[in-house]
Structure 1
Amino acid sequence: MKIIKEETSRMNELYNGSLDSAGVSKQEWIDKFNGTGKFDVKKGYDGTGFYTLFNQKNKLFGNEKVRKAFIIAEDREGVAKTLYRGLAEPAYAWCPPGIQIDGKDFRDKVNHNLVEELKKQHPDAKALLSEGLKELGLDPDPSKLNIKYLESGTDARSKEFAEFAQQNYKSKLGINVECEYVEWAVFQKRTEQYEFEIAGSGWTGDYNDPNTFFDLFISNAGITNTGWTSEKYDNLIKDAAKTTDMEKRTNLFKDAERLLVYEDGVISPRIWRFKNTFIRKYIKNYAAPTFGTIDLKYTYTEGRE
């Protein structure tokens, strides 16, 4: 196994045969590898959800209507298609597909579209934002609103993500957005100290159970810094941890997800990411589980040149 941090070097080694498999995300490399006819491709959910994070200790984003306006305005389809080049799926709830409960996919058992429900309740995101601004005693004209979007990264890819959000909020809500770019260590410190208004974030599950996505938001978790606390949410997650009734447990997580996204608008789900692994055709019985380490016990090569 090789650790190659630089993407171009990693792709070149895969192309020239120094590597037998690697994840590939850029379309130019996908086309190049597909053109060789020498690779099989394994594609599936990678247990990661990305979302927009609101600082509720900030006056503006302490308002529920303001947060929900941003949730409704989020261009999930555009993010998946443009920024992830089709290697992601729009997220209309929080817990990503591929996460199981009682041996079944949680998303198959709980298939509510919380974002669409919000849109039906509030068809006009800009009007909802104006209502929130009025409640706060601020100018209800969104064009007078200026916010800062915190992005973790200073490279070209990070700027691509932040500028997409900037343009989308300008288009959908009519507001003015300034992008701030900081390295990951600074991003962590700023969010931990609530020195931000709105930011992009993500989470990859630690194990194959919905709890790995829901216990992030209990009041004393200290992982996602939203400033939100909810005794009702905390109790739902605690009860889910105690019960052995899988149907009851599923419904507890369902209620928690509804509270998180639809009722309180704590986060804005953005996308669920795919993994896209190119493997040379002479590699047989290769399996990479979503969780845990790659097990190559039964993997072998056949027909290597």
Structure 2
Amino acid sequence: MVVFALMIALVGCYGGNPEATSSKEPQVLRITAGNEIPTMDSTGTLDVLSQRVINNTFEGLYRFGKDSKPIPGIAKSYEKSKDGQTYTFHLRKNAKWSNGTPVTAQDFIYAWKKSLHPDTLSAYAYLFNDIKNAAAIQDKESRLYGKVDELGVRALDDSTLEVKLEKPVPYFLSLMAFPSFFPQNEAFVERQGDKYGLETKHLIFNGPFVLSTWNHEEGWELKKNPTYWDADTVKLEKVEVKVVKDTSTAVNLYEAGHIDKVNLSADFVDQYQDSPEYSTMKKPEMYFIRMNQKNRFLNNKHIRKAIDMGWDKKEMANRILNNGSLPAFYLVPQNFVTGPKGKDFRAKYGNFNTGTVQEAKNHWKKGLKELGVKQVKLELLSYDGELSKTITSYIRNQLEKNLPGLSLTINRQPNKQKIALETKMDYELSYSGWNPDFQDPITFVDLFVSNGPYNWSDYKNPKVDQLVNEAKNEKNPAKRWSRLQKAEQILVENDTVISPMFQTGQAQLMKPYVKGFVSHPLAVEASYKWTVIEK
């Protein structure tokens, strides 16, 4: 699946094997979410919550299995050419959309071309660049710009999809399990127009569940999809999701028996850590402060380094989060992937910018002197959840105390509005994060290439661009690994494009009757396909 062996600290599956059980209990899973779903259009999503729901209601050629490795989905099998550059996928003939129409090879081609067309360009269009001509189709200087029919895919028949690559891609099947590569039914989508993905009546599904109700800002409901090709495996009849932004409210719902799973904030860890329903997990999900270099203060390297070193990351992870999260001094997470010699990606460089408060003050003074100012006013964009408020308040207090002359205000926004501000680079500092799309370090490192779709910091370094581009084309695993490590060092240690905050840990309570709940260390987060209720 990937070029390197995995070292995932997260245990992906809870409970027993639902296929080996028979339960007469109502098969209803009740959970919460912290925000509203921004979109259900698989070509338009860029947030984890949307991807989680899409992962459970749609299915690609492959899907992530119980161990988070890609397993056959709509594709029952494939062949790969000797040079590794042509994949031929054979689709299941019993795969159907929830309106009864068959899922065909053309449904994949339509969705992929839609993702690359200039009028409907996906935020994840860059993930297609390994497919023949995809990069050129997105390049305004290329003769192929906008010519999506030149994409290296074709339907040999309704059940056979051929995909040609620019070069061998070791993690290609993992990409096929990511929502951006899921199919869409052209006839249905075109009839919906710009309403597609915004309401249940403007959606059809081909996954284990359908989104049956969607009460915006309040919650939604998933129901078992009877037309799903593997419906016999799906035991849950329904998944009820409430939008709850406050942890104490969610814990009260859990205690009252109204929900079956709850994520805990630090305030509740000590109270519940001895409970048999309590567990923690490490995730390869990273949170960091973006620094928009369009801002004249943040364009100064010393100011950025001062902000990165000017607050206590260890105290925040251990005391405020208190859920197994790790203080982060890096971009690529610990225990995510190992390299050609069996060592973790972090082994070579370890932590960056582990300086003291005094070092932060020194950088701050140098930055102020270079800018010719004594006062700096900045705004920190943040999520509007309860934990986010605690984290940003802590960081503000630390930075204002340790960096004389800094005034920091907090701008808390709902998830959808926050993402919109970030994509427009209408912010100064932003509490942001990244969950890996596939299991390879490049999913983190290429976030900050000059023309990258998620380089929301106006950062440009030709050396980083060169290293990442060479890594993408390097066939020698050791050389590829080394280039990605060097690029990360430049990004974090030398240029301090971000201030890493923490690598996510998660403390949670789950009712013992919930079996087979699968958590993924990737953007799709969770699968309900194998979950069963056994009271």
Displacement of 1:9 in angstroms is 5.3
Does 2:465 align with 1:239?
A: no
Does 2:3 align with 1:3?
A: no
Q: Is contact 1:48-1:204 (8 Å) kept?
A: yes
Distance of 1:22 and 1:155 partners within structure 2: 15
For structure 1, the residue ranges without an aligned partner over 5 or more in a row are none
Q: Is contact 2:323-2:506 (8 Å) kept?
A: no
Match of 1:176 in 2: 406
Q: Is contact 2:381-2:430 (8 Å) kept?
A: yes
Flag the structure with higher helix content.
1
Larger radius of gyration: 2
2:261 partner amino acid: S
2:494 partner amino acid: E
Displacement of 1:189 in angstroms is 4.0
Out of 330, 338, 344, which is 1:93 matched to? 330
Does 2:284 align with 1:47?
A: yes
Q: Is contact 1:55-1:196 (8 Å) kept?
A: yes
Match of 2:382 in 1: 152
TM-score calculated relative to the size of structure 1:
0.82
Instruction: Name the SS of the counterpart of 2:243 in structure 1.
Output: coil
Distance of 1:13 and 1:110 partners within structure 2: 45
- Aligned CA distance change for structure 1 residues 176 and 15 (closer, same or farther; 3 Å): same
1:12-63 alpha-carbon deviations (Å, 9 max, x no partner): 44334454434333533x455456x45252x222221111111212221111
Q: Is contact 1:76-1:91 (8 Å) kept?
A: yes
Match of 1:127 in 2: 362
For structure 2, the residue ranges without an aligned partner over 5 or more in a row are 1-238
Distance of 1:191 and 1:283 partners within structure 2: 37
Instruction: Name the SS of the counterpart of 1:254 in structure 2.
Output: helix
1:52-98 alpha-carbon deviations (Å, 9 max, x no partner): 11121222111112211211213211221343134411001111124
Residues 28-43 of structure 1: matches in 2 within 5 Å?
28=268, 30-31=269-270, 33-34=272-273, 37-41=275-279, 43=280
TM-score calculated relative to the size of structure 2:
0.49
Distance of 1:69 and 1:9 partners within structure 2: 37
Displacement of 1:281 in angstroms is 3.5
Q: Is contact 1:162-1:179 (8 Å) kept?
A: no
- Aligned CA distance change for structure 1 residues 295 and 211 (closer, same or farther; 3 Å): farther
- Aligned CA distance change for structure 1 residues 173 and 283 (closer, same or farther; 3 Å): same
Residues 182-201 of structure 1: matches in 2 within 5 Å?
182-184=412-414, 185-201=416-432
Instruction: Name the SS of the counterpart of 2:509 in structure 1.
Output: strand
Q: Is contact 1:15-1:33 (8 Å) kept?
A: no
Residues 274-289 of structure 1: matches in 2 within 5 Å?
274-283=505-514, 287-289=518-520
Distance of 1:40 and 1:251 partners within structure 2: 39
Does 2:353 align with 1:115?
A: yes
Distance of 1:193 and 1:245 partners within structure 2: 37
Displacement of 1:228 in angstroms is 0.8
Distance of 1:15 and 1:38 partners within structure 2: 14
1:238-257 alpha-carbon deviations (Å, 9 max, x no partner): 22222232222221111011
1:93 partner amino acid: Y
Q: Is contact 1:106-1:210 (8 Å) kept?
A: no
- Aligned CA distance change for structure 1 residues 183 and 99 (closer, same or farther; 3 Å): same
Match of 2:306 in 1: 69
Q: Is contact 1:101-1:246 (8 Å) kept?
A: no
